[in-house]
A and B are shown apart, each in its own frame.
Chain A
């Protein structure tokens, strides 16, 4: 509350100068792309137009309220029509609107220019995480909320980037045109990073696109903007914009990591190893619905701890994890998790929270099934 007062005071001293626009946290960010700057300018232009019209209209109104008070013996005039005046106040707004429409159209056309992208990233919304695939680069990963649940409950002090931090940020190069393709696995989400002025719905079964060319390296944060269910507030977006060489190096490193992971498929895994890996996967992917202790939240999300159907039928269990269940929030993890992760999470859920089935599912088994 005190910070608010300070900011309010700060804000008020700035009113009247266009600097008020730059007071951070009160206004639309200028952003770090040419388009976000243009959009910001459009926003400020229409804002000031509204302010001017408002001052005139409310000025006349409050002047009348003050000047023509009945209590001060004002006598009402008797006029109720003036076509000239009416035409003028119809024509002026029309002209202002045309004046606004022209730059708005120009900016919109730039947003809709899909040409000559240097990098394509497929962004998939899923309840409740984002998945990024660098098309043609063999790099793909999920990006989950990293804020611990304890902070949300208030058991721990909240960090600076509370709810705006993820386990794996999207990494993008600056100065390159990056084309985003958007789609969804389940419901409609919306991918939004204010500093890029990019907000696009992700529609299941359909694909939409937008693009960005970032001018400055930095860390940019955003959130899902379309109500997508229980954890709508908990699927943030973090983008690391880095220099081009750094990006290329990062990409190469990720490709290497993926190759290493693929090597792990063929070897025999111990139960402990799989449990450890599986706990990590479960925590970031499954726990938001089925809960950390596997108790679920029925009827939408069944409990896994003590789930008889799951424990009795291993093949069915694998099938559900790999293919998902249509018409429910259970997605297909066929492509979003690799065989090692799939094997680990299946093993984990069959042995955690007292399920203790002792089943060990090997990555090689899963890989073969997916061939």
Chain B
């Protein structure tokens, strides 16, 4: 093989390597891009009961009185949070298009202030897209003082396009601690105390 051929080969190898590296970087970036993409995809399609957390406009004067749907509320506690989450009613029955308001009570039962966050989930997932909330505490991080109790309303409606086979919609809120913030908070308290002393 002549020197020229060899150089042609080497150039080809270099080109192939660079293209491969570009593809690698692209795929690595793609894997990370999948995280937000999945999120968007879930919100659009309702996979996993991920709900849209932004406040939505409620549509009025459009109630479908031909059918009733039961909406259940379940509250749960993740581990490590000295809070209690209550809902004033376990279930409501309403027409698609009708607006309803349900109060949730958050109480901090510890002797220190904490941050927490309520993670929502909806089932069946065909219903997820049809739950509209105008005010909601989903995913929002909340701070409660020691022993504090706060009521928060959930104002929502099911839109009229709710598939007919859905007769019960279940909303679950699981309360989780926001560890980092709480730790910072408590560290801060100790610092302050130290300063005074």
The answer to whether any beta carbons of A and B sit under 8 Å apart in the complex is yes
Residues of B within 8 A of A205 (CB): 78, 119, 121, 174, 176
Tell me if A319 and B82 are in contact (CB < 8 A).
yes
Contact mask B166-184 → A, CB, 8 Å, 1/0? 1110101010110100000
A116 touches B (CB below 8 Å): yes
A181 touches B (CB below 8 Å): yes
- Stretch among A30-38, A44-52, A161-169, A329-337 lining the B interface: A329-337
The secondary structure that dominates the A interface is loop
User: Within the complex, what minimum Cβ distance (angstroms) separates B194 from chain A?
Assistant: 22
A136 and B122 contact, Cβ closer than 8 Å, known pairs A323-B79, A326-B79 = no
Tell me if A370 and B79 are in contact (CB < 8 A).
no
Residues of A within 8 A of B97 (CB): none
* Interface size class, chain A: 35 or more
A183 and B172 contact, Cβ closer than 8 Å, known pairs A206-B121, A209-B124, A370-B109 = yes
Contacting residue for B121 out of A113, A207, A332, A335, CB 8 A: A207
Residues of A within 8 A of B168 (CB): 114, 117, 120, 179
Residues of B within 8 A of A217 (CB): none
Q: How far is the CA of A330 from the CA of B124 in the complex (A)?
A: 30
User: Within the complex, what minimum Cβ distance (angstroms) separates A342 from chain B?
Assistant: 13
A369 touches B (CB below 8 Å): yes
Q: Count B-side interface residues using an 8 Å CB cutoff.
A: 32
A332 and B167 contact, Cβ closer than 8 Å, known pairs A183-B76, A206-B49, A327-B179 = no
Residues of B within 8 A of A117 (CB): 167-168
Contacting residue for B80 out of A113, A135, A136, A327, CB 8 A: A327
Contacting residue for A114 out of B82, B121, B124, CB 8 A: B124
Residues of B within 8 A of A322 (CB): 82
Q: How far is the CA of A122 from the CA of B168 in the complex (A)?
A: 14
Closest A residue to B177 using CB positions: A326
B72 touches A (CB below 8 Å): yes
A324 touches B (CB below 8 Å): yes
Q: How far is the CA of A324 from the CA of B123 in the complex (A)?
A: 27
B165 touches A (CB below 8 Å): yes
B135 touches A (CB below 8 Å): no
Contact mask A121-150 → B, CB, 8 Å, 1/0? 010000000000001100000000000000
Q: How far is the CA of A83 from the CA of B174 in the complex (A)?
A: 60
User: Within the complex, what minimum Cβ distance (angstroms) separates A289 from chain B?
Assistant: 13
User: Within the complex, what minimum Cβ distance (angstroms) separates B54 from chain A?
Assistant: 20
* Among A186, A205, A208: residue with most chain B CB under 10 A: A205
User: Within the complex, what minimum Cβ distance (angstroms) separates A227 from chain B?
Assistant: 20
Q: How far is the CA of A335 from the CA of B78 in the complex (A)?
A: 11
Q: How far is the CA of A114 from the CA of B70 in the complex (A)?
A: 12
Residues of A within 8 A of B167 (CB): 114-117
Q: How far is the CA of A247 from the CA of B177 in the complex (A)?
A: 39
B110 touches A (CB below 8 Å): yes
Residues of B within 8 A of A120 (CB): 72, 168, 170
User: Within the complex, what minimum Cβ distance (angstroms) separates A38 from chain B?
Assistant: 18
Tell me if A335 and B77 are in contact (CB < 8 A).
yes
Residues of A within 8 A of B124 (CB): 112, 114, 209
Residues of B within 8 A of A335 (CB): 76-77
Tell me if A370 and B121 are in contact (CB < 8 A).
no
Q: Which 10 A-B pairs have the closest CB atoms?
A: A326-B80, A324-B79, A115-B165, A114-B124, A332-B79, A207-B121, A207-B123, A206-B121, A323-B82, A207-B172
Given contacts A114-B126, A208-B49, A323-B77, 4 further A-B contacts (CB under 8 A): A181-B74, A183-B121, A205-B174, A334-B84
Q: Could you list which residues of chain B lie within 8 angstroms of chain A, going by C-beta atoms? A: 48-49, 72, 74, 76-82, 84, 90-91, 109-110, 119, 121-124, 126, 165-168, 170, 172, 174, 176-177, 179
Would you list 20 pairs from A and B whose C-beta atoms are within 8 A, ordered by A residue? Answer: A113-B165, A117-B167, A136-B72, A136-B90, A181-B170, A183-B121, A183-B174, A206-B48, A207-B74, A207-B121, A209-B123, A323-B77, A323-B80, A326-B79, A326-B177, A326-B179, A330-B79, A332-B79, A332-B81, A334-B84
